[in-house]
Amino acid sequence: MSKRCYYEVLSVERTANDGELKTAFRRLAMKYHPDRNPGDKDCEAHFKEAKEAYEVLGDPDKRALYDRHGHAAFEHGMGGRGGGGFADMGDIFGDIFGDIFGGGRSRQPRRGADLRYILELDLEEAVFGAEKEIRVPTLANCEKCEGSGSADGKLETCKTCQGHGRVRMQNGIFSIQQACPHCGGSGKKIANPCKSCHGEGRVEREKKLVAKIPAGVDSGDRIRLSGEGEAGPAGTQPGDLYVEVNVREHAIFQRERDDLFCEVPIRFAQAALGAELEVPTLGGEASIKIPAETQTGALFRLRGKGVRNVRSGHVGDLICRVVLETPVKLSKQQRELLDQFEATFSSDDEAKKHSPRSSGFVDNVRQFFAKMTG
């Protein structure tokens, strides 16, 4: 199978200069590189074809031979292995790997690690806000060397990277740049390390802080304390501290977004005859009117008695669910009265009249068994 013209492979004119060749090859390499297309044989073939084309056209001597003799110049050994003017494939692949893996060429200063702190709050503290003192174990700047890591403040140029902060790893034509392992990318090394921190510039200690919790937070919300994370390596910025809220369970209320829910127990007579009850809210007591013949599970909404949303400012509601409570430890007189009352439901008509839900359940059960027996 005959090879394609190298200029056609790179999609450039025969008059293309070095910069145009490099740009064309880099574009194809980014598109077809095996690391971006794992297992794709077609992409691998395209990548090899583009690399071969650039290896020839990027070298002025090889390009001149190719322009005169075409592919035959290299099939018969005419091209040799000269490469004095060959373009820097290492630079190209360094750029490509930087783009693929996010490394790039910039030397961004490192910073300290971010920290997370789980803060337990009562519901009242989460709803109304609070100031909480917290203690965070962290890495802080060494006081003796003021975070520099040096006992005398003197630095020397790193001999491994010659002060550049990065080293190049070469494997054939592939070249990848990475931070120098000896100086951490700073390009400098400490000549006389501080004895307190052993040249790290940081020591372990417990930091005491006051976290201001805004009103309306809920479990999972985070408050960022900028610059309160771990101290960075010498001369760099500290990380941030993220305080994550976890609201404890409450004895009375359950929270769902901005609404609060609570169960209110009521006696049989209150449910049957109606009543006015005092119920708790986070701001004090409030009253709800229970109409006569209220069934267990009925919901009563008190608007604006919930939680003010920390972001939107919307205020939720308090929703009370009444639960009929069966009386216990009855006296003899109470039992006799209940027996007399129950006797008034002796007939089916009376039962259906006063207990529509119960009678409906009985009817449904009868229909169910009638179907089951055919």
Residue at 128 is within a domain? yes
Model pLDDT, residue 38 = 77
Model pLDDT, residue 234 = 67
**Do both 242 and 259 map to the same domain?**
no
Residue at 180 is within a domain? no
The tally of domains found in the chain comes to 4
Average pLDDT over the chain reads 81
pLDDT in tens, 85-94: 444 454 555 5
Inform me whether the pLDDT recorded for 347 exceeds 80: no
**Do both 86 and 12 map to the same domain?**
yes
Model pLDDT, residue 82 = 42
Residue at 161 is within a domain? no
Model pLDDT, residue 349 = 62
What is the extent of the structural domain holding 361? 332-372
**Do both 241 and 291 map to the same domain?**
no
**Do both 15 and 89 map to the same domain?**
yes
Mean pLDDT computed over 50-64 = 88
Mean pLDDT computed over 288-313 = 92
The residue among 70, 101, 132 that closes a domain is: 101
Which pair of structure tokens corresponds to residue 311?
Answer: 């972001």
Inform me whether the pLDDT recorded for 355 exceeds 50: yes
For 183, counting Cβ atoms within 10 Å of its Cβ (0-12 exposed, 13-18 middle, 19+ buried), the class is buried
Residue at 263 is within a domain? yes
**How many CA atoms lie less than 13 Å away from 69 in the CB half-sphere?**
14
**Do both 313 and 222 map to the same domain?**
no
pLDDT band, residue 100 (cuts 50/70/90): very low
pLDDT in tens, 259-292: 999 999 999 889 989 999 999 998 889 999 999 9
**Do both 15 and 92 map to the same domain?**
yes
Helices 41-57 and 60-69, interaxial angle, to 10°?
100
**Do both 356 and 225 map to the same domain?**
no
Longest dimension (CA), the chain: 121
pLDDT band, residue 83 (cuts 50/70/90): very low
Model pLDDT, residue 279 = 92
Model pLDDT, residue 356 = 59
**Do both 208 and 295 map to the same domain?**
no
Residue at 340 is within a domain? yes
Residue at 168 is within a domain? no
Model pLDDT, residue 87 = 46
CATH number, domain containing residue 313: 2.60.260.20
Mean pLDDT computed over 17-30 = 86
pLDDT in tens, 196-220: 888 778 888 888 999 999 999 999 9
Residue at 17 is within a domain? yes
**Do both 360 and 297 map to the same domain?**
no
Model pLDDT, residue 107 = 46
Q: What separation in angstroms does the CA of 37 have from each of 23, 29, 42, 52, 55?
A: 20, 11, 9, 19, 22
**Do both 242 and 280 map to the same domain?**
no
d(CA 120, CA 127): 13
d(CA 33, CA 174): 12
Model pLDDT, residue 359 = 56
Name every residue whose Cβ is closer than 8 Å to that of residue 230 and which is 6 or more positions away in sequence: 112, 113, 114, 115, 138, 139, 140, 202, 238, 239
**Do both 72 and 31 map to the same domain?**
yes
pLDDT band, residue 70 (cuts 50/70/90): confident
Cα dihedral across residues 140, 144, 147, 151: positive or negative:
negative
Name every residue whose Cβ is closer than 8 Å to that of residue 297 and which is 6 or more positions away in sequence: 321, 322, 323
One-letter amino acid for residue 360 of the chain:
G
Residue at 65 is within a domain? yes
**Do both 79 and 126 map to the same domain?**
no
